């Protein structure tokens, strides 16, 4: 038993230092961070969750800034399911709600959206690389 102690200590130290996160947990964290940064109107954090080309980054930043300036939104993740996970790519089904904190809002309608997110692992981090809206329900 004493001979195994260094191995056990080394293994536990490795797990503590590297973390025990599964790809599923890392993907879910990226999606939650994306929603959190959007709600906090943290542009750099929000853009950091996305995989963008330089042209798309500028366009997306301008769109996000405009939304942040004009609306106060509440984002909630209702459900999350990994449909496919291969090496450094994933397809994830997400249902989320987005509601205006400034009721009534003339420029935004509360919604419940079902989307398929394409994700890619880049430099050790999962990023949202595309979104295909499957269904959108708007409150009247």
Q: Does residue 106 lie within any of the structural domains?
A: yes
Residue that the structure tokens 């990226």 belong to? 30
Domain holding 58, by residue range, is: 22-138
Q: Does residue 89 lie within any of the structural domains?
A: yes
Q: Does residue 6 lie within any of the structural domains?
A: no
Report the 10 Å Cβ neighbour count for 122: 11
Q: Does residue 9 lie within any of the structural domains?
A: no
State the total domains in the chain: 1
pLDDT digit string, tens, across residues 5-26: 444 454 444 444 445 589 999 9
- Quick one: tokens of 47? 């853009």
Q: What's the helix, strand, coil split of the chain in %, to 5?
A: 40, 40, 20
- Is residue 32 pLDDT above 50, yes or no? yes
Q: Does residue 46 lie within any of the structural domains?
A: yes
Question: What pLDDT, on the 0 to 100 scale, is given for residue 26?
Answer: 98
Average pLDDT, the chain: 88
Question: What pLDDT, on the 0 to 100 scale, is given for residue 16?
Answer: 41
Q: Does residue 3 lie within any of the structural domains?
A: no
DSSP 85-125: EETTEEEEEEEEEEEESSSS-SS---EEEEEEEEEEEETTE
Q: Does residue 85 lie within any of the structural domains?
A: yes
Closest Cα partner for 130 from 76, 74, 72, 50? Answer: 50
Q: Does residue 119 lie within any of the structural domains?
A: yes
């Amino acid at each position: 038993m004493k001979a195994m102690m260094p191995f056990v200590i080394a293994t536990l130290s490795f797990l503590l230092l590297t973390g025990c996160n599964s790809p599923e947990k890392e993907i879910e964290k990226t999606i939650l961070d994306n929603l959190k940064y959007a709600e906090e109107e943290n542009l750099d954090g929000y853009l950091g969750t996305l995989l963008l080309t330089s042209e798309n980054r500028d366009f997306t930043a301008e769109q996000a800034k405009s939304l942040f300036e004009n609306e106060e939104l509440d984002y909630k993740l209702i459900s999350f399911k990994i449909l496919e996970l291969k090496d450094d790519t994933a397809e994830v089904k997400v249902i989320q709600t987005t509601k205006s904190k400034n009721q009534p809002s003339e420029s935004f309608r509360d919604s419940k959206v079902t989307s398929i997110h394409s994700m890619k692992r880049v430099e050790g981090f999962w990023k949202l690389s595309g979104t295909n809206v499957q269904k959108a329900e708007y409150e009247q």
